């Protein structure tokens, strides 16, 4: 690379940054590479200055040691300082993490001087112990480091007792009817509750409901099969309380009964009815005794004469 300087350029030291990128890559972009350089412009007759110092940087972190309970996270503040020369990009990393732990730098790289926040996250299964860790910084062909230590303590186990109760209403219902489920979590906490409905064939259906700050929760459910059902409630617990599960509450579901069929045998309020076999002939099946001990006559029976009438219970 050749840098040409015109006669009007003032004497002095000028910092340059040279970028390179692959064909087709955007500029600037993640595929770009950069290098820094100095150009010293001298006045006429001025002797050349000594060469500029080479790039160097340092890394420090605080606190020097930290602790975390398994399943939690710890933070460290990392400082990357320019020691000499022109700043060049420095990227950060961490060595020595145990299985079940991960780290993140924010930012993960920069131009000194800059600061970064290191967050170390752990799983509940990570092995307890004290781990020496090394923060690494690489840039300008140099590698610098800072040492820290992390104490990982065993995950705490909840010691508080908890319980959960549940009831259903009604305990017997028909297909198409709704079941009301209510319950309470003790101690009273706002939490997610899982309701598990068990069908007559043994299959299960889970539903999530929310308990209020008083611990109360409820659900409305429409069973879809005939037979004996149960429902139970479960809570997974929290950092201070053990998990809890209720005893199952039982209920039975029956087929819906069809509506009764209505039958009509005539209208007893109608007293007079013409004889005959037409469509309006009465169908009353009541019997009345014939006077003088004669044979019984069925009301609405034979017609003694065309168009004549008689009253129920009387013979003419």
- Spatial contact of 185 and 195, defined as CB atoms under 8 Å apart: no
Q: Give the residue among 57, 71, 83, 59 at the shortest CA–CA distance from 133.
A: 59
* Model pLDDT for residues 113-123, shown as the tens digit of each residue: 999 999 999 99
- The continuous run of DSSP H or E covering 183 comes out as strand 179-186
- Spatial contact of 77 and 115, defined as CB atoms under 8 Å apart: yes
* Model pLDDT for residues 19-69, shown as the tens digit of each residue: 777 666 565 555 567 677 778 888 888 888 777 789 999 999 999 999 998
Q: What per-residue confidence (pLDDT) applies to 313?
A: 46
Q: pLDDT exceeding 70 applies to what percent of the chain?
A: 78
What's the whole-number mean pLDDT along residues 9-14?
Answer: 83
Least confident of 89-93, 115-119, 215-219, 241-245: 241-245
What's the whole-number mean pLDDT along residues 177-204?
Answer: 95
Q: Which tokens in the block code for residue 194?
A: 């899982």
Q: What per-residue confidence (pLDDT) applies to 164?
A: 97
Q: What per-residue confidence (pLDDT) applies to 29?
A: 57
Cα radius of gyration rounded to whole Å, the chain? 47
Tell me the C-alpha to C-alpha distance, in Å, between residue 96 and each of 91, 100, 101, 148, 250: 17, 12, 10, 10, 55
Q: What per-residue confidence (pLDDT) applies to 148?
A: 97
pLDDT higher than 80, residue 259: no
Domains (range + CATH), the chain: 1-52 (no CATH), 56-153 (2.60.40.10), 163-254 (2.60.40.10), 264-316 (no CATH)
- Spatial contact of 250 and 228, defined as CB atoms under 8 Å apart: yes
Q: What per-residue confidence (pLDDT) applies to 314?
A: 47
149 Cβ contact partners less than 8 Å away, ≥ 6 residues apart? 64, 65, 66, 130, 131, 132, 133
pLDDT higher than 60, residue 173: yes
Angle among Cα 240, 76, 72 to the nearest 5 degrees reads 20
What's the whole-number mean pLDDT along residues 221-229?
Answer: 96
Q: How confident is the prediction for the chain on average, in pLDDT? A: 83
Q: Which tokens in the block code for residue 33?
A: 């590479």
**162 confidence band (pLDDT: 50, 70, 90):** very high
Q: What per-residue confidence (pLDDT) applies to 267?
A: 54
Q: What per-residue confidence (pLDDT) applies to 163?
A: 95
Q: What per-residue confidence (pLDDT) applies to 312?
A: 46
Residue, of 174 and 273, whose pLDDT is higher: 174
Q: What per-residue confidence (pLDDT) applies to 240?
A: 78
What's the whole-number mean pLDDT along residues 203-221?
Answer: 96
* Model pLDDT for residues 263-302, shown as the tens digit of each residue: 555 555 554 545 445 555 555 455 545 555 454 444 444 4
């Amino acid at each position: 690379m050749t840098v040409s300087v015109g006669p009007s350029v003032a004497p002095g030291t000028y910092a340059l940054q040279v970028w390179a990128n692959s064909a087709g890559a955007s500029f600037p972009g993640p595929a770009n590479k950069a290098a820094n350089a100095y150009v010293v412009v001298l006045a006429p007759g001025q002797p050349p200055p000594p060469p500029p110092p080479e790039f160097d940087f340092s890394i420090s972190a605080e606190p020097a040691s930290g602790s975390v309970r398994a399943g939690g996270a710890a933070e460290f503040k990392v400082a990357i300082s320019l020691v000499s020369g022109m700043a060049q990009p420095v990227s950060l990393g961490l060595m020595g993490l145990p299985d079940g732990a991960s780290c993140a730098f924010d930012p993960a790289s920069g131009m000194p001087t800059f600061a970064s926040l290191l967050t170390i996250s752990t799983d509940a299964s990570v092995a307890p112990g004290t781990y020496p860790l090394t923060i690494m910084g690489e840039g300008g062909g140099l590698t610098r480091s800072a040492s820290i230590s992390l104490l990982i303590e065993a995950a705490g186990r909840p010691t508080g007792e908890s319980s959960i109760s549940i009831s259903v209403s009604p305990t017997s219902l028909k297909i198409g009817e709704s079941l009301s489920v209510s319950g309470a979590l003790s101690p009273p906490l706002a939490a997610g509750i899982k309701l598990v409905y068990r069908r007559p064939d043994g299959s299960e259906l889970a539903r999530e409901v929310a308990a209020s700050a008083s611990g109360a929760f409820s659900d409305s459910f429409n069973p879809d099969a005939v037979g004996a059902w149960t429902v139970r409630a479960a809570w997974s617990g929290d950092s201070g309380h053990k998990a809890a599960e209720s005893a199952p509450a039982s209920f039975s579901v029956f087929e819906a009964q069809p509506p009764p069929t209505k039958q009509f045998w005539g209208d007893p309020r109608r007293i007079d009815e013409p004889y005959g076999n037409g469509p309006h002939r009465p169908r009353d099946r009541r019997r009345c005794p014939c006077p003088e001990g004669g044979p019984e006559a069925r009301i609405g029976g034979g017609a003694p004469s065309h168009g004549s009438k008689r009253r129920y219970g009387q013979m003419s």
